Amino acid sequence: MPARAALFVLALTLAAAGPAHANSILSIGGLGEPQLEEPARLRALGGAGVAEHGPREISLVNPASLSEVERILLEVTVLPAFRRVNAASVPVETVRETTFPSARAAIALPGGLVLGASYVAGTDAEFSVAREDTAGARSTVTVDGSGGINFLRVSLARRIVPALRLGVDWEVIAGSYRESWVRTFSNSGLATARDSLDVRYPKKGRWRFGAQLVKKDWAVGAAFETSQHLPLDVTRATIGASERFSGGQLEIPPGLVLGASAPLRPRLRAVAQYRRAGWSRSSLQSDLVDFRAQERFSVGLERKRATEEERSLWARLPLRVGGYLLRWPDLLPRAGAQDVNGGTAAIDERALTLGAGLVTKDNGGGLDVSLELGSRGDRSELGVSERFVRLGISFLVSDETWKGSFHK
Amino acid sequence: MRHGPFFAVLLAVLSAIPVVGCSRKAERLVGSARLIRGPGGLGATVRFLRNPDRDTYVEPGTADFGDVLIVGRDTTFEARTFLAVASWKLPDTTLAGFSPGMVSLELKRDTTLLDAGVVSLFLAASPWDTATVAWPGPAHPTLLGFAQDDRPAAGSFSLALTPGSFDLVKQWAQDPASAPGFALERTGDGLLAYVPGAAVFRVRYTHLVSGNAVLDSVDTRVTQDFYLHAPISPPPTGADTSLVLGGLFKTALALHVPLDSIPAAVSIDEATLILNIVGIEVPDSGDVTDIVQVRRIRNVWSEGITEKGTLTIDDATSSSQSLTSAYAGAGRRIILRIPGALLREWAATSSSNEGLYVSLTHPVNRTKKFQVGSRESSRPPELHVSYTHLPPVRF
């Protein structure tokens, strides 16, 4: 009954709550904020998940990590965050937000196969900004941006031999970029302009191949993802007029992930991962954004939870600590420049990560949390920097967990 | 195996998550210099104004089937009202002791024109076609009666026909063609106004009821009424320095403003027609019911026109605004909003731009007219246009 009451409260809260949005000042240009799709358990390890394996230790980076799933799993991750935006010209601003990096379902099939389906956020272009503009007639421009690149993914994995697991993803590159521009003039004789800007692309698929080698507590993993070309279609519209034209071609580049998990002590292990996506100038011809390779360096330490017999809560609680360095692919115009011809500035993101979790008694489900403390941007180069705190919460349910809580 | 507490904690945490999500309005970033969209900035707003290359004023025609009936004269304006009856009602002449009495025309006063004077009723010599009737209207040689309208207040004005008119009424009832219509005129200078649709011919009579004489009456409703006025004088020349809006002649403006410089893909922020008042009369609180209407002209016209009939005008208004709210006292200007879509169409296809027809309706003060500076004056009409280019691209 407590669970049903809580479920009722959840439903009511979700129904009453307004939409949550990202609001990074760095999502205003380029492709948007790169998202880490991993659940909280792996976020707490700096995002190093390519070598993860186990009945519930699944990673969204490597499809091979699904190969040991024994039942039905459902995993959802939400990410409330708090930012402090430090810009050169205005006082410090604070922003709260909630994003949904991923949701995944997996089911074990006969023949040792595991089938998965997931939603993954690639980039997040949500922002809301109001700015004074004096070009022609004094006005306040309010721009609400939304969208970004998303992926809808189907996965298939299998353990080939005891030490080798293989997996493959086929994912549809979805999403779009939309901006709503509202311009309010100081002169009351001028009517408010309400315009929109849409950038769309056809939904195309691409492949990701993953492999893991597991020997006792040692594991190494790798994944490779293919590229895809997406013709961009731009529509600008206002009341009574619209303009549609080609926006060039966006190349989603090939990517590579390499990583390992190594035991340090009986309950302690270390993980490390290098992830790269080959963004470059040729990925998108634009005067407003240039690109470099996206790179993420992740490391983490995990103290695994003790056995069921251990009565101490502290001992039964898994503890994780990690960190990462993310080099955004977007090279944005430098502060004061009108476009990339005036110079570009890179965005490097660094974070310290912490985490813990609870596991259900059937070992099928659990609740993991992560805390990310980091910063990115550069006031001297970009004119703005951000500090952020993210709370990652992942909810993992298996068929056994479901039955245990609601049907017994 | 039960996990109730686990789920209770879990769901409580999840319930709190949407609450900590951001509120967009409360947390909109301001002053973001990172909103960078190239050398064009965020899309410049362009403003310009155009003056007409053609303008004049026209009268709607000499026949007015509108909301008032006018008789009388005011300098160059002269009007008479015409009435017609489709069928007549007579009292029952077989009643005991029937005796016809006075026949009168009963008119309901319109208080907007209040010059007391003598009003005369004539029998028209011929019928008229409402589609073509024009000043001075059909001849009306036969005087049927007259009376002084003292205009004490709103109410009815009774104009008695000459004694013995009951026989005439009987004749009109038997042969309606013998009374093709009636004309009302006011003698001398001054104007009187009556309410259309309210006039009746009243036949009074007495008859005996239980040996006592009883006064009774029968009304015949006037089924058609309108007034004709003399053509506008002096007529507009097309080169006048002022354009007349409203007044007794109900003149309206015809304006053509060339427009060819609005790009297709812009957001139109302002499309405003400004009329500069150059005369003494300005809109005030007494003009609270006045409505300025703007309609689109569809045909080619020249500045030499004097009548609305030469224009092909849309029935639908492009803009309709209260005169008092449209008037800005500071610059003595009437500011009229024009639909941006109309300008967009004109800019795309200049041949579709034949201009605008600006008229005044529902005036309280029917004699009040507004003089608007023409293109020949130092304060010509202005069409103000502002547009902003569509949002610059993101990539």
Domain assignment present for residue A120? The answer is yes
Domain assignment present for residue B37? The answer is no
Cβ <8 Å between A135 and B42: yes
Residue count of chain B = 395
Measure CB to CB from residue B29 to each of A95, A132, A141 and give the nearest one.
Answer: A95
Q: Any bridge partners for residue A104, and if so which? A: A75, A118
* No. of helices (H) and no. of strands (E), chain A: 4, 21
Q: How distant is the Cα of B1 from the closest Cα of chain A, in angstroms?
A: 5
CA B305 – CA B317 distance, rounded (Å): 22
| Strand bridging mode B242-246 / B69-74 | unpaired
Indicate whether B209 and B294 sit together in one domain: no
For residue A162, give the DSSP letter. Answer: T
Out of A15-24, A291-300, B213-222, B289-298, which region has the weakest mean confidence (pLDDT)? A15-24
Out of A137-141, A300-304, A369-373, which region has the weakest mean confidence (pLDDT)? A137-141
The answer to whether A40 touches A361, Cβ cutoff 8 Å, is no
pLDDT at position B9 is 61
Reply yes or no on whether the pLDDT at A278 is more than 90. yes
Cβ <8 Å between A367 and B13: yes
pLDDT at position B3 is 47
Mean pLDDT of the residues in chain A? 90
Domain boundary among B229, B259, B282: B229
Reply yes or no on whether the pLDDT at A134 is more than 90. no
The answer to whether A291 touches A330, Cβ cutoff 8 Å, is yes
The answer to whether B203 touches B19, Cβ cutoff 8 Å, is no
Reply yes or no on whether the pLDDT at A228 is more than 80. yes
Show which of residues 200-229 on chain A sit within 8 Å of chain B, judged by CB atoms: none
Encode burial over B314-350: b for 16+ CB neighbours within 10 A, e otherwise.
Answer: eeebbbebebbebbeeeebbbbbbbebebbbbbbeee
For residue range A145-184, what is the model confidence (pLDDT) as tens digits? 999 999 999 999 999 999 999 999 999 999 999 999 999 9
Out of A124-138, B46-60, B313-327, which region has the weakest mean confidence (pLDDT)? A124-138
Interface with A, mutate which of B1, B2, B29 (most A CBs under 10 A): B29
Indicate whether B311 and B364 sit together in one domain: yes
The CATH number covering residue B370 comes to 2.60.120
The answer to whether A110 touches A145, Cβ cutoff 8 Å, is no
Domain assignment present for residue B12? The answer is no
pLDDT at position A13 is 46
**How does residue A405 score in pLDDT terms, banded at 50, 70 and 90?**
low
For residue range A317-353, what is the model confidence (pLDDT) as tens digits? 899 999 999 999 999 999 889 999 999 999 999 999 9
**Alpha-carbon dihedral angle through residues A235, B271, B239, B282, given to the nearest 10 degrees:** 170
**Alpha-carbon dihedral angle through residues B11, B13, B19, B20, given to the nearest 10 degrees:** -150
Query: Which domain range does residue A283 map to?
Result: 21-406
CA B219 – CA A94 distance, rounded (Å): 81
CA B276 – CA B293 distance, rounded (Å): 16
Chain B CA closest to residue A234: B393
* CB-based contact, B44 to chain A, within 8 Å: yes
CB-side neighbour CA atoms (13 Å) of B78: 14
Within 8 A by CB and 6+ apart from A400, the residues are: A71, A360, A362, A364, A365
Query: What percentage of chain A exceeds 70 in pLDDT?
Result: 92
Indicate whether B182 and B293 sit together in one domain: no
B338 to A115, B197, B232, B273, B297: CA distances (angstroms): 61, 35, 29, 7, 14
Q: Domain count of chain A? A: 1
User: How many of the other CB atoms lie within 10 Å of CB of A277?
Assistant: 21
User: In Å, how far from its chain's centre is CA A80?
Assistant: 12
Out of B5-19, B73-87, B283-297, which region has the weakest mean confidence (pLDDT)? B5-19
Between B37 and A234, where is the model more confident? A234
Reply yes or no on whether the pLDDT at B255 is more than 50. yes
Residue range A90-100: mean pLDDT, rounded: 85
Indicate whether B199 and B92 sit together in one domain: yes
Mean pLDDT of the residues in chain B? 91
Indicate whether B56 and B70 sit together in one domain: no
Measure CB to CB from residue A6 to each of B11, B32, B386 and give the nearest one.
Answer: B11
CB-side neighbour CA atoms (13 Å) of A140: 10
pLDDT at position B31 is 58
Q: What φ, ψ does residue A210 adopt, rounded to 5°?
A: -135, 155
The CATH number covering residue A378 comes to 2.40.160.60
Q: Which residues of B touch A332 (CB under 8 A)?
A: 34, 36
pLDDT at position A96 is 84
CA B336 – CA B292 distance, rounded (Å): 8
Reply yes or no on whether the pLDDT at A17 is more than 60. no
Q: Domain count of chain B? A: 2
Cβ <8 Å between A332 and B272: no
Domain assignment present for residue B282? The answer is yes
**How does residue B17 score in pLDDT terms, banded at 50, 70 and 90?**
low
Indicate whether B213 and B304 sit together in one domain: no
| Strand bridging mode A139-161 / A113-121 | antiparallel
The single residue listed with the structure tokens 């997040």 is A124
Q: How distant is the Cα of B47 from the closest Cα of chain A, in angstroms?
A: 7
Indicate whether B208 and B275 sit together in one domain: no
Domain assignment present for residue B248? The answer is yes
Indicate whether B133 and B171 sit together in one domain: yes
Indicate whether B104 and B54 sit together in one domain: no
For residue range A47-67, what is the model confidence (pLDDT) as tens digits? 999 999 999 899 999 999 999
Indicate whether B98 and B201 sit together in one domain: yes
Within 8 A by CB and 6+ apart from A25, the residues are: A85, A87, A127, A129, A377, A384, A386, B29, B32, B34
Domain boundary among B203, B229, B255: B229
CA A63 – CA A170 distance, rounded (Å): 10
Cβ <8 Å between B388 and A193: yes
Residue range B79-94: mean pLDDT, rounded: 96
CA B356 – CA B294 distance, rounded (Å): 6
Cβ <8 Å between A21 and B22: yes
pLDDT at position B6 is 58
Indicate whether B86 and B57 sit together in one domain: no
Domain assignment present for residue A6? The answer is no
Domain assignment present for residue A246? The answer is yes
pLDDT at position A91 is 83
Q: Any bridge partners for residue B73, and if so which? A: B78, B190
A200 to A26, A291, B126: CA distances (angstroms): 20, 20, 74
pLDDT at position A376 is 95
Reply yes or no on whether the pLDDT at A4 is more than 60. no
The single residue listed with the structure tokens 């919460």 is A393
Domain boundary among B166, B201, B229: B229
- CA nearest to B367, candidates B244, B263, B273: B244
Reply yes or no on whether the pLDDT at B24 is more than 70. no
Reply yes or no on whether the pLDDT at B54 is more than 80. yes
**How does residue A402 score in pLDDT terms, banded at 50, 70 and 90?**
low
For residue range A70-82, what is the model confidence (pLDDT) as tens digits? 989 999 999 999 9
* CB-based contact, B28 to chain A, within 8 Å: yes
Show which of residues 213-272 on chain B sit within 8 Å of chain A, judged by CB atoms: 264-270, 272
Q: How distant is the Cα of A167 from the closest Cα of chain B, in angstroms?
A: 31
Chain A CA closest to residue B26: A95
**How does residue A97 score in pLDDT terms, banded at 50, 70 and 90?**
confident
Domain assignment present for residue A9? The answer is no
Residue range A235-240: mean pLDDT, rounded: 93
Reply yes or no on whether the pLDDT at B151 is more than 90. no
pLDDT at position B42 is 87
* CB-based contact, B11 to chain A, within 8 Å: yes
For residue B251, give the DSSP letter. Answer: B
Show which of residues 36-75 on chain A sit within 8 Å of chain B, judged by CB atoms: none
Show which of residues 333-372 on chain B sit within 8 Å of chain A, judged by CB atoms: 335, 340-341, 344
Query: What percentage of chain A exceeds 90 in pLDDT?
Result: 71
Domain assignment present for residue B93? The answer is yes
Indicate whether B68 and B163 sit together in one domain: yes
The answer to whether B242 touches B261, Cβ cutoff 8 Å, is no
| Strand bridging mode A127-133 / B29-30 | parallel
Cβ <8 Å between A405 and B272: no
Domain assignment present for residue B206? The answer is yes
CA B48 – CA B221 distance, rounded (Å): 57
pLDDT at position A143 is 92
The answer to whether A364 touches A395, Cβ cutoff 8 Å, is no
pLDDT at position B12 is 62
The answer to whether B358 touches B255, Cβ cutoff 8 Å, is yes
Query: Which domain range does residue B272 map to?
Result: 45-61+236-389
3-state secondary structure of A111: helix
User: How many of the other CB atoms lie within 10 Å of CB of B198?
Assistant: 16
Cβ <8 Å between A97 and B22: yes
Out of A264-278, B145-159, B191-205, B247-261, which region has the weakest mean confidence (pLDDT)? B145-159
Domain assignment present for residue A144? The answer is yes
User: How many of the other CB atoms lie within 10 Å of CB of B173?
Assistant: 17
* CB-based contact, B8 to chain A, within 8 Å: yes
Show which of residues 266-285 on chain B sit within 8 Å of chain A, judged by CB atoms: 266-270, 272
The answer to whether A368 touches A41, Cβ cutoff 8 Å, is yes
For residue range B107-141, what is the model confidence (pLDDT) as tens digits? 999 988 888 999 999 999 999 999 999 999 999 99
Cβ <8 Å between B394 and A288: yes
Domain assignment present for residue B296? The answer is yes
